[in-house]
Amino acid sequence: MTAKSDFNAEEWDKLVQAPALAALRVIHADRGGTLRESLSLARAYAEARQRGGGELLDAIVSSPPALDPSTARSPEQLAERADQALRDAIELLERKATPEEVEDYRQFVLAVADTVAHAHKEGGFLGIGGKEVSESEQAVLDQLAQTVGATAR
């Protein structure tokens, strides 16, 4: 079993920030809903804490990410930063964690992104006729799944 103590501070920061960066990609995929989507990020972490998991994932969701959204000035920069952070985090976990912990982390990243995507209906009028997940949000979700190399569960 892998624990927080198996990582140095820089490595731990990578593991904690990557899921939040993935969520930011979804938030910025469409205009509108940013407040709801931001609140849903916190809800996704709270739900993961309640569900529990292995020691490693529990420690990750208990460590609030400290992100400065202004560091990625454009959607392209944010996408590049998030994808690199996810690749780095997965690579790090593949070296230090069990395969089950790596897969749990992948699924957690995708669950956070999916929760954010479903937080706000896109389009429609006064919430009527809108889509649960917009095409641009779905494209980001698909890209994130490819980036983390997740398998269907």
Query: Would 66 be classed as within a structural domain?
Result: yes
pLDDT, residue 3, reads: 92
Q: Which residues make Cβ contacts (< 8 Å) with residue 119, sequence separation at least 6?
A: 33, 36, 37, 39, 40
Q: How many domains does the chain have?
A: 1
CA angle, residues 62, 41, 61, in degrees to nearest 5: 15
Q: How much is the average pLDDT of 4-19?
A: 95
pTM to 2 decimal places: 0.85
Please give the full DSSP string across 56-76, using - where no structure is assigned: HHHHHHTS-----GGGS-SHH
Tokens representing 135 are 């095409």
Of 84, 86, 87, 81, nearest in space to 69 by CA: 81
In a domain, 153, yes or no: no
In a domain, 31, yes or no: yes
CA distance 114 to 101: 20
Whether 125 shows a pLDDT value over 80: the answer reads: no
Higher pLDDT, 66 or 81: 81
Does residue 43 belong to any structural domain of this protein? yes
**Contact yes or no for 26/117 (Cβ under 8 A):** yes
For residue 74, pLDDT over 70 is answered with: yes
Domain span holding position 22: 7-148
Q: Is residue 11 part of a domain?
A: yes
1 in a structural domain: no
Range with lowest mean pLDDT among 76-90, 93-107, 108-122: 108-122
> Is 129 within a domain?
yes
* DSSP class of 128: B
Kindly tell me if the per-residue pLDDT of 6 is higher than 80: yes
CA-CA distance, 94 to 88, in Å (whole number)?
A: 10
pLDDT for res 49: 79
